[in-house]
Chains A and B, each alone.
Chain A
Amino acid sequence: MIIKYSQLPNIKSKIVLAPLVPITFANGDYEFSTFALVDSGATGAIISTVIAEDLHIDWRKIPANFGFSVGSSFKSHRYNNLDAEVYNHKFRLSVGIVEGISPHRCILGQADIFKRAKITFEGYKQQFEIKFRELN
């Protein structure tokens, strides 16, 4: 599957190109579909507390850990029982529910999508390719 980078609005007369995939999360009977950034530099998946709450995850009852990004640290709550579907591929996901980030924040990283698929970035073509592995 070849996926063109998505165009996102930024400051006036600028756009941001980002490798996004449509994703559907399922927590039991509760589903939430949105778009996730495919980030080779991310250790693993994260979602915002807004998304977690829509999925009826009571993240406040989950003990917090601290993570680090380029410019800061963040408070995160690990949730291991989320299912995800990307281009008809379903997999179990362990996510960090991160406090204080923008509502849309949803990132897939090395511990999840990069273990499920071969991903090739072609920035010069503004696209990337995902080949899901056949796993039992």
Chain B
Amino acid sequence: MQQNKINFVKLLQGYKSGWVGINPDFKSVAVSGKTLKETRKKAEKINKKIYFFPAGESYGNFIGKIVNDN
């Protein structure tokens, strides 16, 4: 069994701040909002699990391997 790459670069494109709610297939954003509270409220109307993640941050200090995007 394999979990394919979750591409947050693509998912978060167009979201410069706030929070997003990501669909459980991790391929698209279901809801977004200025705050987590607002995003969660929008997600309550959707009858499936939503994964919350902030937008507009630089994740360079999240201890990862930095590579060129090409």
CA–CA, A105 to B63, complex, Å? 11
Q: How far is the CB of A73 from chain B (nearest CB, A)?
A: 16
With A7-B9, A54-B40 already in contact, the answer to whether A18 and B52 are too (CB < 8 A) is no
A135 contacts B by Cβ under 8 Å = no
A43 contacts B by Cβ under 8 Å = no
Contact B60 A14 (CB under 8 A): yes
Q: How far is the CB of B32 from chain A (nearest CB, A)?
A: 14
Contact B1 A17 (CB under 8 A): no
With A9-B9, A33-B49, A102-B54 already in contact, the answer to whether A18 and B2 are too (CB < 8 A) is no
Interface stretch of the complex, out of A34-42, A59-67, A76-84, A110-118: A34-42
Give B contacts to A, CB under 8 Å: 1-10, 12, 19, 26, 36, 40, 49-54, 57-60, 62-70
List 26 contacting pairs A-B, 8 Å CB cutoff, sorted by A. A2-B1, A3-B2, A5-B5, A5-B65, A7-B10, A9-B9, A9-B12, A10-B66, A11-B60, A13-B68, A13-B69, A13-B70, A14-B66, A15-B66, A16-B59, A16-B62, A22-B51, A33-B51, A34-B51, A39-B63, A50-B36, A54-B36, A54-B52, A102-B57, A104-B57, A126-B5
Choose from A1, A16, A18, A33 the contact partner of B50 (Cβ within 8 Å).
A33
Among A4-32, those with CB < 8 Å from B are 4-11, 13-18, 20, 22, 24, 32
